[in-house]
């Protein structure tokens, strides 16, 4: 079914798309991946485009901006921007529009930012290209925009490079660059995927604030139905390249007409859904044929009372030196991880949550040995991590990284990428590797024949599934999953979370689950550690953290979670920028001695001092 939205209002729409069709040529054959899609966007309006990974929503956005490769691609239809058909413009004409009148925020910031340009220069570049200002004025405006998207210590970080930022921080840089020229239309392709809930809330508030000031229209491509409910006026649902349903956002949520839309909404992780549950529970699966939501199969808890410890972390610390540009003197230190301690038992999932830059990803790299630690102890299955040979360590602990595209070799077919650890360690023959790759692709919801493809031929969500498969290939005891489901649409997110629970049931795996998605964290976790500025400020059982949060930051995190209900859109208070702080400290800074208060069994809260007043 194809739905075409035709606005006939007296006001000229900012954008009108008619019968947009996009096809790709593969092995000499043409195949359409987007078919006769139509919609309109008015000034000041937000249209959400939602759908599963591979549904064609990102291809649609790329076609609007003429960013698809001309060879092997065909695009037809009309894309009318202020009455001008963008599909008829040449590259020079489009360059005057891109980044100026229409801006785009891409899904994967590390592949969108220039790795050899400082982030300040990349934000200023757009200003210099499209406006008649001096370099000094461009720098000042770029700094102001960095402040607006809440990049801590913007002035001192202006000359830093993308690799020096966390994934969430890099996404903020992308947003700053996109908004620098105050565009008339912003196309945001999963702009908050890599952001924690507090920064996500601020970015959503910022976009709405800019809309109110300038009348900017927004096309918001996302798989997060909580974000859709929070920001969009209208919603377009895509499935396998077709627009299957469109309407006002309240209509879509309250009265979905299509079976697929109902499936999409039923798969949304909802905060509070685990109240009264003792342990993690798999997501119910929607049956597309019957249109009914299945009941999760009852299963015993994977965490037994007598379960042995797999991972013991004590007083872990890591600081990064900030040097002066000229003399290379130490001018500051980033206190990335400070005095972190926790345990992980066999069959347990410990989730680490916190905002971008809080140190949760660094903690993951420290406990896997990918970063050297400054102090502290990491015991893996009773042995000090540093004494375990690297080859053996790969069998015991694996990591799923935050950025799927950056962690896959673009020159390796995905089947070879999945089985690469087996080749390195000589653990399987070539035939066995092919069979294992096929089985793992099936386990994560992909087809075995996809093993012959390259990473660039997959969507962002599909690439993340490939990374999950690769982490499983060595059958480790512990998996550190750094935003493992952040790039996945809601239906695939539930499938991968259920897959992780199945594997935990079968293999007794321990998971350190690093995430900013609080609804998923509530579903998958036995215990939760909340991090802020490198420290664990609260740690305890899932029920204690969600039902009885004690630390101010934990309460703030939970209050910032978007609720998948348009009727509750205005109930969330804005997050003040003044609440965000920087982990950068003077070289001689001495960290205060911290004390924890025990609230109940296994529930501890960091005592708040003057720095939290």
Q: How far apart are the first and last CA of the chain?
A: 56
Query: Residue 178: CA atoms inside 13 Å, Cβ hemisphere, count?
Result: 29
Determine how β-strand 15-26 pairs with β-strand 29-41.
antiparallel
Same domain, 150 and 253: no
Please give the Cα distance from 525 to 513 (Å, whole number): 8
Please give the Cα distance from 183 to 167 (Å, whole number): 24
Same domain, 233 and 331: no
Tokens matching residue 214? 């300038």
In a domain, 289, yes or no: no
Type and span of the H or E element at 530: strand 527-532
What is the DSSP-derived secondary structure letter of residue 451? G
Coil vs helix vs strand at 13: coil
In a domain, 37, yes or no: yes
Q: Return the pLDDT at 10.
A: 39
**pTM for the whole structure:** 0.79
**Number of domains forming the structure of the chain:** 3
Burial class (CB in 10 A: 0-12, 13-18, 19+), 494: buried
Sign of torsion over alpha carbons 178, 230, 194, 333: positive
Coil vs helix vs strand at 188: strand
Q: Return the pLDDT at 7.
A: 40
Phi, psi for residue 395 in degrees, rounded to 5: -80, -25
What residues have CB less than 8 Å from 412, skipping those under 6 apart?
Answer: 420, 454, 455
CATH number at residue 244: 3.40.50.300
Type and span of the H or E element at 261: helix 259-266
Tokens matching residue 205? 């508030």
Q: Provide DSSP, 123-173.
A: HHHHHHHHS---HHHHHHHHHHHHHHTT-TTHHHHTT--GGGS-HHHHHHH
Please give the Cα distance from 270 to 226 (Å, whole number): 9
Q: Return the pLDDT at 206.
A: 78
Please give the Cα distance from 115 to 518 (Å, whole number): 31
Sign of torsion over alpha carbons 41, 43, 45, 51: positive
Q: Return the pLDDT at 612.
A: 53
In a domain, 50, yes or no: yes
Same domain, 381 and 412: yes
Determine how β-strand 478-482 pairs with β-strand 510-514.
parallel
Polymer length in residues for the chain: 613
What is the DSSP-derived secondary structure letter of residue 233? S
Residue ending a domain, among 202, 228, 261, is 261
Same domain, 159 and 256: no
Identify the residue whose tokens are 């024949």. Answer: 449
Q: Provide DSSP, 467-486.
A: HHHHHHTT--SEEEEESTTT
Same domain, 147 and 30: no
Residue ending a domain, among 139, 159, 182, is 182
Same domain, 170 and 189: no
The number of angstroms, rounded, from the C-alpha of 275 to the middle of its chain's C-alpha atoms is 25
Q: Could you tell me which of 382, 252, 378 has the C-alpha nearest to residue 309?
A: 382
Please give the Cα distance from 135 to 158 (Å, whole number): 14
Coil vs helix vs strand at 273: coil
pLDDT digits 0-9 by tens, 286-341: 666 666 667 677 778 888 888 899 999 999 999 988 887 777 788 888 889 999 99
The number of angstroms, rounded, from the C-alpha of 90 to the middle of its chain's C-alpha atoms is 34
The number of angstroms, rounded, from the C-alpha of 389 to the middle of its chain's C-alpha atoms is 32
Same domain, 24 and 164: no
Q: Taking a C-beta distance cutoff of 8 angstroms, is the pair 331, 320 a contact?
A: no
Residue ending a domain, among 182, 210, 243, is 182
Q: Which residues of the chain have pLDDT under 70?
A: 1-12, 167, 193-194, 286-293, 295, 460-461, 487, 569-581, 609-613
In a domain, 510, yes or no: yes
Strand partners, 74: 23
Same domain, 116 and 214: no
Tokens matching residue 229? 């409910």
Coil vs helix vs strand at 117: coil
What residues have CB less than 8 Å from 394, skipping those under 6 apart?
Answer: 421, 425, 474, 476
Q: Taking a C-beta distance cutoff of 8 angstroms, is the pair 357, 168 a contact?
A: yes
Please give the Cα distance from 91 to 88 (Å, whole number): 10
* E strands present in 196-329: 217-222, 234-239, 242-248, 286-287, 292-293, 309-323
In a domain, 286, yes or no: no
Q: Which domain holds residue 144?
A: 107-182
Identify the residue whose tokens are 């993308």. Answer: 162
Please give the Cα distance from 473 to 422 (Å, whole number): 8
Q: In what order do the strands lie in the sheet with 29-41?
A: 29-41, 15-26, 73-81, 84-85
Q: How far is CA 519 from CA 168, 272, 487, 558, 559, in A?
A: 18, 8, 15, 10, 12
Phi, psi for residue 606 in degrees, rounded to 5: -65, 130
Same domain, 345 and 377: yes
Same domain, 78 and 115: no
The H helix count followed by the E strand count for the chain is 20, 25
Same domain, 9 and 146: no
Tokens matching residue 370? 């990918």
In a domain, 296, yes or no: no
Q: Return the pLDDT at 433.
A: 94
pLDDT digits 0-9 by tens, 205-223: 878 887 888 889 999 998 7
Same domain, 198 and 337: no
Please give the Cα distance from 235 to 142 (Å, whole number): 32
In a domain, 403, yes or no: yes
The number of angstroms, rounded, from the C-alpha of 25 to the middle of its chain's C-alpha atoms is 30
Q: Return the pLDDT at 394.
A: 84
In a domain, 580, yes or no: no
Tokens matching residue 324? 């002066």
CA angle 238, 185, 46 (to 5 degrees): 50
CA angle 485, 488, 489 (to 5 degrees): 135
């Amino acid at each position: 079914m194809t739905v075409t939205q035709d606005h006939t209002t007296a006001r000229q729409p900012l954008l009108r798309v008619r019968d947009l069709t996009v096809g790709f040529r593969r092995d000499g054959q043409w195949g359409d991946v987007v078919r006769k899609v139509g919609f309109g966007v008015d000034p000041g309006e937000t249209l959400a485009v939602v759908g599963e990974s591979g549904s064609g929503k990102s291809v649609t956005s790329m076609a609007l901006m003429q960013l698809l490769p001309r060879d092997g691609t065909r695009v037809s239809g009309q894309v009318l921007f202020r009455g001008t058909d963008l599909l008829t413009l040449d590259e020079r004409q489009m360059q005057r529009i891109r980044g100026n009148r229409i801006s785009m925020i891409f899904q994967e910031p590390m592949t969108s930012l220039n790795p050899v340009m400082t982030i300040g220069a990349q934000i200023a570049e757009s200003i210099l290209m499209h406006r008649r200002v001096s370099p000094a004025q461009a720098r000042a405006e770029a700094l102001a925009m960095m402040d607006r998207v809440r990049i801590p210590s913007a002035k001192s970080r202006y000359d830093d490079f993308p690799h020096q930022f966390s994934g969430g921080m890099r996404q903020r840089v992308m947003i700053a660059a996109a908004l620098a020229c105050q565009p008339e239309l912003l196309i945001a392709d999963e702009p908050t995927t890599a952001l924690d809930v507090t920064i996500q809330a601020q970015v959503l508030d910022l976009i709405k604030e800019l809309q109110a000031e300038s009348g900017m229209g927004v096309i918001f491509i996302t798989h997060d139905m909580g974000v859709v409910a929070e920001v969009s006026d209208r919603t377009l649902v895509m499935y396998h390249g077709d627009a299957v349903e469109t309407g006002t956002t309240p209509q879509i949520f309250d009265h979905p007409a299509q079976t697929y839309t109902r499936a999409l909404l039923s798969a949304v992780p909802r905060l509070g859904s685990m109240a009264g549950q003792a342990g993690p529970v798999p997501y119910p699966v929607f049956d597309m044929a019957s249109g009914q939501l299945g009941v999760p199969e009852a299963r015993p808890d994977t965490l037994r009372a007598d379960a042995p410890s797999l991972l013991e972390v004590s007083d872990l610390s890591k600081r990064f030196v900030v040097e002066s540009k000229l003399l290379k003197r130490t001018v500051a230190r980033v206190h990335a991880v400070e005095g972190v301690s926790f345990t992980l038992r066999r069959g347990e999932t410990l989730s680490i949550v916190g905002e971008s830059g809080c140190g949760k990803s660094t903690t993951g790299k420290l406990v896997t040995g990918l970063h050297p630690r400054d102090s502290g102890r990491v015991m893996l299955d009773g042995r000090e991590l540093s004494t375990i040979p690297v080859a053996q360590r790969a069998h015991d602990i694996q990591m799923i990284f935050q950025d799927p595209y950056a962690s896959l070799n673009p020159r390796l077919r995905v089947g070879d990428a999945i089985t690469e650890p087996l080749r390195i360690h000589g653990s399987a023959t070539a035939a066995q590797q092919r069979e294992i790759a096929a089985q793992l692709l099936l386990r994560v919801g992909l087809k075995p024949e996809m093993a012959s493809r390259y990473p660039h031929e997959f969507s962002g969500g599909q690439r993340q599934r490939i990374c999950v498969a690769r982490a499983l290939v060595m059958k480790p005891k512990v998996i550190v999953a750094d935003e493992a489901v952040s790039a996945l649409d809601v239906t695939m997110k539930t499938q991968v979370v259920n897959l992780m629970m199945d594997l935990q049931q079968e293999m007794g795996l321990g998971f350190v689950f690093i995430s900013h998605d609080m609804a998923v964290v509530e579903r998958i976790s036995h215990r939760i550690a909340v991090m802020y500025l490198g420290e664990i400020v609260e740690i305890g059982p899932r029920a204690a953290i969600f039902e009885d949060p004690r630390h101010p930051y934990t309460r703030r995190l939970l209050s910032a979670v978007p609720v998948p209900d348009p009727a509750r859109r205005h109930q969330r208070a804005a997050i003040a920028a003044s609440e965000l702080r920087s982990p950068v400290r003077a070289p001689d800074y001495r960290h205060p001695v911290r004390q924890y208060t025990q609230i109940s069994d296994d529930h501890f809260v960091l005592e708040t001092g003057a720095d939290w007043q």
